Chain A
Amino acid sequence: MIWVDTVIQGILLGGLYALFAAGLSLVFGIMRLVNLAHGDLIVLGAYLILLLVTLTGLSPFIAAAVAMPLMFALGYGLQKFMLNRVLGEDILPPLLVTFGLSVVLQNALLEGYSADSQRIQAGSLSTASIELGGINLGVMPLLTFASAVAVIFALNQLFYQTSLGRAFRATSDDATTASLMGIKPAGVFAKATGIAMIIVTIAALYLGMRSNFDPSIGPARLVYAFEAVIIGGLGSLWGTLAGGVIIGVAQTLGAAINPEWQILAGHVAFLFVLLLRPRGLFPRAVD
């Protein structure tokens, strides 16, 4: 029974990793941009929510809702004024600029908040659990997973059922021809990063409520997010969920064997999938 429980915990953990990854997947899918500061932006989001909660005493969920437009604006501005300038054929500039951004973010947070561990208090929610078929499931992990599914569902709706989504896909296919249709690629990219930051805020909420965080944990979240995206296959949002689940399950299984092996197990699973399926499990046909 322990193994079933472990696997289920892994699946739910996968929901958190999918939340980390969804924003990344969105941005990469549209503009082939890999933001090395993504993990640090999640941590920034967590600190922002913490700040709002501390200042106003609001519930974390409300605070996250307030943080979302702020994070959208941040993402929009970041893309518009900094990242749009380095987008192009050469992969080096965006990589190096976002790397620099990552370092700046980490150290700015360090200056602002010190290296102390923080936590967003969630009250009784963090320990609440429900019983399903003889297994105890934490409410928080269930909520996280449900949110991940909801976010990915919403993103797919956006992509395939709205005019903006069409613009996203068209711009991703061919930015020049898209501009002939009256689409401003620069604006589309900025909106995409803004939306990605909204997802980052949701991820930050659950990250902050679930475990302690400090300015240095960004890079590790980035790696999990990437692994999930690559396993899932570029361009597939549901694939990203699958990727997150695989990493989550690998980690919990590894931890069950030896707690020191948790993170290593996740990486090994990633390398294993990479070995068998270099393009991921559900790669986009067109690339």
Chain B
Amino acid sequence: MNALLETRGLTARYGDFQALFGVDLALGEGETVAIIGANGAGKTTLMRSIAGVLQNPPDSIRFEGRAIGAMPADEIMAMGIAMVPEGRKLFPSLSVEENLLIGTYGRKTGGYWSLATVYELFPVLKERRHAPGTALSGGQQQMVAIGRALMSNPRVLLCDEISLGLAPVVIKDIYKAVPQIRQAGAAMIVVEQDIAQAMAVADRVCCMMEGRVTLTGRPDELSREAIHNAYFGAVA
């Protein structure tokens, strides 16, 4: 298998509640995979498992062949898997620039992304670099969150619901940045509620429902009906 990142039979529980039922996912070098599904489908649980916020059996997640399922988040980040967390989660005590800088704390690998290039990607951030992170609008905060993750020049970028709570116009703006991120070399997993946007940027789309992958395929291969059934459950 030459997948950059893959999960095998990933199962996750919160106490008595099982959120994932044996999820298999593979991400190739430079690939963008979109994961869609309703609330509670397990998308964020999947991301948190990969990012190391949740611990799993070592073998259930592999990165470049290494078993990372049980590694803590800070070590996974150092290996080159960076997360743009759901809800942005900027640090209120840090300025915009400091939020970006903290992205390099655990991984100082050189590469395309630096303060200069992140500011090029999102010019509005440069204007407000000294403002407290949380004083910005939702869309700008999302840009900071993405930039923060990019600063470590990750091999894999995990984007968890970056369109959440944002106006369509703003979402479009943010997604304009995706091609540049792809060009710089990162593989991406994009969790999205906005199906259209997800289909537009992805090489492959995965649909999840109630903790299971119900459909995968290239966007042009999938019919609306197939997605609808996979998203909501097949109509009896």
Q: Which residues of A contact B (CB under 8 A)?
A: 163, 166-167, 169-170, 172-174, 176-184, 286
B72 partner, pick from A167, A172, A179, beta carbons under 8 A: A179
B83 partner, pick from A167, A173, A180, beta carbons under 8 A: A180
Instruction: Find out whether the CB atom of B78 lies under 8 angstroms from the CB atom of A182.
Output: yes
Instruction: Find out whether the CB atom of A172 lies under 8 angstroms from the CB atom of B93.
Output: yes
Instruction: Find out whether the CB atom of A182 lies under 8 angstroms from the CB atom of B89.
Output: no
Q: Sorted from nearest, which 3 A-B pairs have the closest CB atoms?
A: A182-B106, A169-B93, A179-B73
User: Which A residues are CB-close (under 8 A) to B91?
Assistant: 169-170, 173-174, 177-178
B105 partner, pick from A172, A176, A182, beta carbons under 8 A: A182
User: Which A residues are CB-close (under 8 A) to B152?
Assistant: 182
B74 within 8 A of A: yes
* In the bound complex, CA of A167 to CA of B106 (Å): 10
B53 within 8 A of A: yes
B92 within 8 A of A: yes
* In the bound complex, CA of A73 to CA of B94 (Å): 29
Q: How far is the CB of A167 from chain B (nearest CB, A)?
A: 6
Count CB-based A-B contacts (< 8 Å): 68
Instruction: Find out whether the CB atom of B77 lies under 8 angstroms from the CB atom of A166.
Output: no
Question: Chain B binding site: helix, strand, loop or mixed by DSSP?
Answer: loop
Instruction: Find out whether the CB atom of B77 lies under 8 angstroms from the CB atom of A180.
Output: yes
Find the residue from A163, A174, A182 having the highest chain B CB count within 10 A.
A182
* In the bound complex, CA of A286 to CA of B132 (Å): 11
Considering the complex, give the chain B residue whose CB is closest to the CB of A184: B74
B69 within 8 A of A: no
Q: How far is the CB of A155 from chain B (nearest CB, A)?
A: 15
Instruction: Find out whether the CB atom of B53 lies under 8 angstroms from the CB atom of A181.
Output: no
Instruction: Find out whether the CB atom of B102 lies under 8 angstroms from the CB atom of A181.
Output: yes
Instruction: Find out whether the CB atom of B93 lies under 8 angstroms from the CB atom of A180.
Output: no
Considering the complex, give the chain B residue whose CB is closest to the CB of A171: B91
Within 8 A of A (CB), among B72-98: 72-74, 77-78, 82-83, 85, 89, 91-94, 98
User: Which B residues are CB-close (under 8 A) to A173?
Assistant: 91-94
Instruction: Find out whether the CB atom of A183 lies under 8 angstroms from the CB atom of B93.
Output: no
* In the bound complex, CA of A52 to CA of B137 (Å): 57
Considering the complex, give the chain A residue whose CB is closest to the CB of B98: A166
| A286 and B93 contact, Cβ closer than 8 Å, known pairs A176-B53, A180-B83 | yes
Q: Which residues of B contact A (CB under 8 A)?
A: 51-53, 72-74, 77-78, 82-83, 85, 89, 91-94, 98, 101-103, 105-107, 148, 152
Considering the complex, give the chain A residue whose CB is closest to the CB of B84: A180
User: Which B residues are CB-close (under 8 A) to A180?
Assistant: 51, 53, 73-74, 77, 82-83, 85, 89
User: Which B residues are CB-close (under 8 A) to A172?
Assistant: 93
User: Which B residues are CB-close (under 8 A) to A181?
Assistant: 74, 77, 102-103, 105-106, 148
* Chain A to chain B contacts (Cβ below 8 Å), 9 pairs: A166-B98, A169-B93, A170-B91, A170-B93, A173-B91, A179-B77, A180-B51, A180-B53, A181-B105
* In the bound complex, CA of A26 to CA of B91 (Å): 18
User: Which B residues are CB-close (under 8 A) to A176?
Assistant: 53, 73
* In the bound complex, CA of A180 to CA of B87 (Å): 14
* In the bound complex, CA of A174 to CA of B152 (Å): 19
User: Which B residues are CB-close (under 8 A) to A178?
Assistant: 91, 102
Q: How far is the CB of B101 from chain A (nearest CB, A)?
A: 6
Instruction: Find out whether the CB atom of A182 lies under 8 angstroms from the CB atom of B107.
Output: yes
* In the bound complex, CA of A176 to CA of B52 (Å): 10
Find the residue from B77, B106, B107, B152 having the highest chain A CB count within 10 A.
B106
Considering the complex, give the chain A residue whose CB is closest to the CB of B107: A182
User: Which B residues are CB-close (under 8 A) to A286?
Assistant: 92-93
* In the bound complex, CA of A193 to CA of B103 (Å): 24
| A183 and B106 contact, Cβ closer than 8 Å, known pairs A166-B98, A166-B101 | yes
User: Which A residues are CB-close (under 8 A) to B148?
Assistant: 181
Q: How far is the CB of B130 from chain A (nearest CB, A)?
A: 12
Instruction: Find out whether the CB atom of B94 lies under 8 angstroms from the CB atom of A169.
Output: yes
User: Which B residues are CB-close (under 8 A) to A163?
Assistant: 101, 105
Q: How far is the CB of B45 from chain A (nearest CB, A)?
A: 14
* In the bound complex, CA of A221 to CA of B105 (Å): 37
* In the bound complex, CA of A42 to CA of B52 (Å): 39
* In the bound complex, CA of A173 to CA of B74 (Å): 16
A177 partner, pick from B85, B101, B106, beta carbons under 8 A: B85
User: Which B residues are CB-close (under 8 A) to A166?
Assistant: 94, 98, 101-102, 105
Instruction: Find out whether the CB atom of B93 lies under 8 angstroms from the CB atom of A167.
Output: no
* In the bound complex, CA of A20 to CA of B101 (Å): 33
User: Which A residues are CB-close (under 8 A) to B51?
Assistant: 180
- A-B contact sample (8 more), CB < 8 A, given A169-B98, A174-B89: A177-B85, A181-B102, A181-B106, A181-B148, A182-B78, A182-B105, A182-B106, A183-B74
